Amino acid sequence: MASQPDDGLGRDAESEDRRQASAFGKYAGVGLQFAVSIILFLYLGQWIDGRLGTDPWGMIIGVFTGAGAAFYSMYRRLMADLERDERARRKP
Protein backbone atom coordinates (compact mmCIF):
# COMPACT_ATOMS: atom_id res chain seq x y z
CA MET A 1 0.00 0.00 0.00
CA ALA A 2 1.36 3.39 -0.98
CA SER A 3 2.06 5.92 1.73
CA GLN A 4 0.13 9.20 1.70
CA PRO A 5 2.11 12.43 1.61
CA ASP A 6 2.65 14.06 4.96
CA ASP A 7 1.10 17.51 5.47
CA GLY A 8 3.98 18.70 7.65
CA LEU A 9 2.03 18.30 10.90
CA GLY A 10 2.36 14.54 11.23
CA ARG A 11 -0.97 13.82 9.50
CA ASP A 12 -1.34 12.18 6.14
CA ALA A 13 -3.70 13.46 3.46
CA GLU A 14 -6.15 10.57 3.92
CA SER A 15 -6.66 11.27 7.64
CA GLU A 16 -7.11 14.97 6.84
CA ASP A 17 -9.82 14.08 4.30
CA ARG A 18 -11.57 11.92 6.92
CA ARG A 19 -11.39 14.74 9.46
CA GLN A 20 -12.88 17.22 7.02
CA ALA A 21 -15.68 14.82 6.06
CA SER A 22 -16.46 14.28 9.73
CA ALA A 23 -16.58 18.03 10.36
CA PHE A 24 -18.85 18.51 7.34
CA GLY A 25 -21.27 15.89 8.65
CA LYS A 26 -21.26 17.37 12.13
CA TYR A 27 -21.98 20.90 10.94
CA ALA A 28 -24.57 19.75 8.42
CA GLY A 29 -26.32 18.20 11.41
CA VAL A 30 -26.19 21.55 13.19
CA GLY A 31 -27.94 23.20 10.24
CA LEU A 32 -30.59 20.50 10.16
CA GLN A 33 -31.14 20.84 13.91
CA PHE A 34 -31.50 24.61 13.44
CA ALA A 35 -34.21 24.20 10.79
CA VAL A 36 -36.08 21.49 12.72
CA SER A 37 -36.08 23.59 15.88
CA ILE A 38 -37.62 26.59 14.13
CA ILE A 39 -40.24 24.47 12.33
CA LEU A 40 -41.15 22.60 15.52
CA PHE A 41 -41.70 25.81 17.47
CA LEU A 42 -43.56 27.34 14.52
CA TYR A 43 -46.09 24.50 14.59
CA LEU A 44 -46.29 24.62 18.37
CA GLY A 45 -47.09 28.35 18.13
CA GLN A 46 -49.76 27.68 15.51
CA TRP A 47 -51.29 24.99 17.71
CA ILE A 48 -51.38 27.41 20.66
CA ASP A 49 -52.97 30.06 18.40
CA GLY A 50 -55.68 27.60 17.41
CA ARG A 51 -56.40 26.63 21.03
CA LEU A 52 -56.33 30.12 22.50
CA GLY A 53 -57.36 32.25 19.50
CA THR A 54 -54.27 34.43 19.76
CA ASP A 55 -53.49 34.40 16.03
CA PRO A 56 -50.63 35.29 15.02
CA TRP A 57 -48.83 35.87 18.34
CA GLY A 58 -48.26 32.24 19.25
CA MET A 59 -46.70 31.57 15.88
CA ILE A 60 -44.47 34.67 16.08
CA ILE A 61 -43.33 33.84 19.60
CA GLY A 62 -42.82 30.21 18.56
CA VAL A 63 -40.58 31.14 15.64
CA PHE A 64 -38.45 33.49 17.74
CA THR A 65 -38.23 30.97 20.58
CA GLY A 66 -37.19 28.23 18.13
CA ALA A 67 -34.61 30.49 16.50
CA GLY A 68 -33.23 31.54 19.89
CA ALA A 69 -32.99 27.94 21.08
CA ALA A 70 -31.34 26.93 17.80
CA PHE A 71 -28.80 29.78 17.97
CA TYR A 72 -27.98 28.94 21.58
CA SER A 73 -27.50 25.26 20.76
CA MET A 74 -25.34 26.11 17.75
CA TYR A 75 -23.26 28.55 19.82
CA ARG A 76 -22.66 25.95 22.55
CA ARG A 77 -21.63 23.29 20.04
CA LEU A 78 -19.29 25.62 18.14
CA MET A 79 -17.66 26.91 21.34
CA ALA A 80 -17.16 23.34 22.60
CA ASP A 81 -15.54 22.39 19.28
CA LEU A 82 -13.33 25.47 19.39
CA GLU A 83 -12.24 24.66 22.94
CA ARG A 84 -11.54 21.04 21.96
CA ASP A 85 -9.43 22.21 19.00
CA GLU A 86 -7.50 24.63 21.22
CA ARG A 87 -6.76 21.86 23.74
CA ALA A 88 -5.60 19.57 20.90
CA ARG A 89 -3.23 22.26 19.60
CA ARG A 90 -1.71 22.81 23.03
CA LYS A 91 -0.89 19.13 23.52
CA PRO A 92 2.75 18.42 22.77
Residue 36 CA to residue 60 CA, distance in Å, equals 16
What gap in Å lies between CA 26 and CA 33, rounded to an integer?
11
Q: CA 78, 82, 86 angle in degrees (round to 5)? A: 170
Indicate the pTM of the whole model. Answer: 0.69
Q: 11-67: per-residue pLDDT in tens?
A: 566 777 777 777 777 778 888 999 999 999 999 999 999 999 999 999 999 999 999
